[in-house]
Structure formats: structure tokens, C-alpha cells
């Protein structure tokens, strides 16, 4: 089997570290792994399959001989370096929002729209974590009953903001419990023992950028601009896994039992739905897992054809690293790399 030279841009970050772990765990056919970061981390070493590999500083010449470049170092870095990597011959899978809504760039969740990987695109965009876990569950229901409208509220873990935010939650939690002063650096308010209805920047329409990512990316991935989506995204003091309350209105009838059956057979989805035994998806159980978990499936009694769902997934894994690696795997399967 062919092996590939893989660069990970942002290799020292929360998403980049998970990418390297995922490549190893899935036994991705890596010939050479090239971890890249800023000058701050150059010279550090990371572990890959029992080997210590030195992190190099990201430069224009970093992509020589690279077949696949996984980017997770922010939109600015992607805008500057993804075209450089593509020009050097690499297939770029980009985790930032920099290219997601560009019409010619595929935005892919392999369980939902693998057909978007047609010709060999230079850059493929990985969607936002909150969008990914929602569309994995929505797609099979859309195929069955046609989705008219989605109302989603998210409860997002601090790991979505990177490793500094995880440290902030830990340090603030300890400070609160010891009665010490709380220091804020990453978020505008204390995150420990608190909920912030604010993810990414506020836009002119009053929504946050994270909320509008969910609206626009969902339509692009599902290939249906007629689906109405509205979102409220909140940050909660949880380290790993995003949870979502998803209200869906359909054109056709779909009972909770039918939805449970459909979702039980859907790729990448695991139904956990037995309230009589207090069984429903939980963020601590989803952490480190590949699947998107769904439960609390019940009728929305306020409309003719509606359901309420509780959807949970590991945001660093299916929400970022795993989805990116699955895109690369799908491209190999299709003979595109």
C-alpha cells in the first residue's frame, strides 16, 4: 500500500495534537510526518508511533515533498500558507473557516457528502465542529422526511478555544474552590462555574460568527439552501465534547421510533436513548470516542412534524481531527491522492 508524507500545521495545538494521535490510532499510511508550528514551538519534539519527531517552524518551503497537509493553526495561517502547500503539490485539508464558504472549495463530512470530493481539489475545507456533529445526525433524517427548519442551541467545551482555554478553566476552577482571585485571559468573563452565550465575534446581525457558521455550513454540506437554520452557541465549563439541543421541523411525518431506527443504522452515529434507565449522551462519555451520540429523541408537540434531539460528540475528534483524517482516507479510497 502506498504511504504518504503528511504535514500537520499547528502540530502543537489542541487540534493538531489530536490529528497526530488520530493518524497513529487509525494506522494512517504515513511515510514521513512533518509537524509544523510557529517559531515559539520550533525545536520541541512530539511523539508519533513511539518515535520522537522535532517540530519545525512553518515557512514557505515547508511543503516540499508533502502529499497531504493538515492545517489547524488559524484562518490567517491558512490563508497565507494553504495556497503555498497546494502549489507545492500537497492536498490541503484545512480546519479553519478561511475557505469553507468559497463555492469552489468542497466542505466535507464524509458520512454526509463524500460526493463533494470529485476531481482532485487542492484545498478541502473541514467544517466547524458544532456543524459536523449536527449534520451527521440531520442528514439521514433529511433523506427520510425532508427538513424544513432547524433550531439549535449549543453547549460547547472550552477545548474548542484551544489549549490555553483548557488551562484557564482548570486554573479558574481551582481558584474559585480555594476562594482565590479569578484571572481572565482567554474569555471576556470567568468561564469556571459559568456559561457564556458568546462564541467567536459578534456580527452586525446580532449573531456570533460561530452561530452563522452553523447556519451557512449546514446548508452547504446538506446541499440544500432551503433548510432554515437558526443557532445560539454557548460556552460551558466542560473540557471536552460539545452538546447540542437540536429541534427539527420536517415536511413529512417522522415518529421518534422511526428516527431512532434510522439513526441506529446511520454511519458514525450511536443512539443512546433510554430515559427509563437515565441513559442519554453525556460529554464525559463522548470524550475520546469517534461517534456522534444522539438521544432524548422525542416529538416536538408544538408543530405538525417535529422532533427534539440531544447530540453530543468529541469536538477535537469528530469535530476536527477525525473528520480531517477521514477526508484524507476518503480521497485515498477514491484514488484522488
Interacting residues with ligand 3JN (CB under 6 A): 74-75, 95-97, 128-129, 156, 160-161, 199, 213, 315
198 is catalytic: no
Q: How far is CA 102 from the centre of its chain?
A: 18
Cα–Cα distance for residue pair 330/335, rounded to 1 Å? 9
Residue 44 beta carbon to ligand NAP: minimum distance, rounded to whole angstroms: 8
Spatial CB neighbours of 215, under 8 Å, sequence gap ≥ 6? 207, 229, 230, 231
Which of the residues 34 through 53 are near ligand NAP (CB under 6 A)?
Answer: 37-38, 40-41
41 binding partner (options ligand 3JN, ligand NAP, none; Cβ < 5 to 8 Å by kind):
ligand NAP
Encoded one letter per residue, x for contact with ligand NAP by CB under 6 A and - for no contact, window 140-169 reads --------------------x-xxx-----
CB atoms within 10 A of CB 28: 18
Hey, which residues between 179 and 208 contact ligand NAP (CB under 6 A)?
none
Helix/strand/coil percentages in the chain, nearest 5: 35, 25, 40
Active site (annotated) includes residue 305: no
Distance CA 39, CA 65 (A): 21
Question: Smallest gap, in angstroms, from Cβ of residue 79 to ligand 3JN?
Answer: 10
Find the shortest distance in angstroms from Cβ 47 to ligand 3JN: 25
Give the torsion through C-alpha atoms of 129, 324, 267, 317, to 10 deg. Answer: -50
Which residues here bind ligand NAP, judged by CB under 6 A? 10-16, 37-38, 40-41, 58, 72-75, 77, 95-96, 126, 128-129, 160, 162-164, 319-320
Amino acid at each position: 500500500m502506498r504511504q504518504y508524507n503528511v504535514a500537520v500545521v499547528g502540530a502543537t495545538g489542541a487540534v493538531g495534537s489530536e490529528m497526530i494521535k488520530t493518524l497513529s490510532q487509525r494506522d494512517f499510511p504515513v511515510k514521513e510526518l512533518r509537524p509544523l508550528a510557529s517559531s515559539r514551538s520550533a525545536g520541541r519534539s512530539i511523539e508519533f508511533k513511539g518515535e520522537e519527531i522535532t517540530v519545525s517552524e512553518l515557512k514557505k518551503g515547508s511543503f516540499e515533498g508533502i502529499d497531504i497537509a493538515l492545517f489547524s493553526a488559524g484562518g490567517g495561517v491558512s490563508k497565507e500558507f494553504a495556497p503555498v502547500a497546494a502549489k507545492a503539490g500537497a492536498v490541503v485539508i484545512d480546519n479553519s473557516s478561511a475557505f469553507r464558504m468559497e463555492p469552489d472549495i468542497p466542505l466535507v463530512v464524509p458520512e454526509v457528502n463524500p460526493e463533494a470530493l470529485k476531481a482532485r481539489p487542492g484545498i478541502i475545507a473541514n467544517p466547524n465542529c458544532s456543524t459536523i456533529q449536527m449534520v451527521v445526525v440531520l442528514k439521514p433524517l433529511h433523506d427520510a422526511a425532508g427538513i424544513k427548519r432547524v433550531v439549535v442551541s449549543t453547549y460547547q467545551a472550552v477545548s474548542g478555544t484551544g489549549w490555553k482555554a483548557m488551562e484557564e478553566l482548570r486554573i479558574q476552577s481551582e481558584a474559585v474552590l480555594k476562594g482565590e482571585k479569578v484571572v481572565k485571559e482567554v474569555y471576556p468573563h470567568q468561564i469556571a462555574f459559568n456559561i457564556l452565550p458568546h462564541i467567536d465575534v459578534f456580527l452586525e446581525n446580532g449573531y456570533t460568527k460561530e452561530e452563522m457558521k452553523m447556519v451557512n455550513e449546514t446548508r452547504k454540506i446538506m446541499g440544500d439552501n432551503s433548510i432554515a437554520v437558526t443557532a445560539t452557541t454557548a460556552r460551558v465549563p466542560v473540557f471536552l465534547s460539545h452538546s447540542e439541543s437540536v429541534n427539527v421541523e420536517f415536511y413529512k411525518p417522522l415518529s421518534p421510533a422511526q428516527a431512532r431506527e434510522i439513526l441506529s443504522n446511520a454511519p458514525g452515529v450511536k443512539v443512546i436513548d433510554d430515559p427509563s434507565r437515565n441513559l442519554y449522551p453525556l460529554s464525559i462519555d463522548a470524550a475520546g470516542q469517534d461517534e456522534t451520540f444522539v438521544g432524548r429523541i422525542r416529538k416536538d408537540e408544538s408543530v405538525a412534524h417535529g422532533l427534539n434531539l440531544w447530540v453530543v460528540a468529541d469536538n477535537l475528534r469528530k469535530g476536527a481531527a477525525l473528520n480531517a483524517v477521514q477526508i484524507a482516507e476518503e480521497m485515498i479510497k477514491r484514488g484522488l491522492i
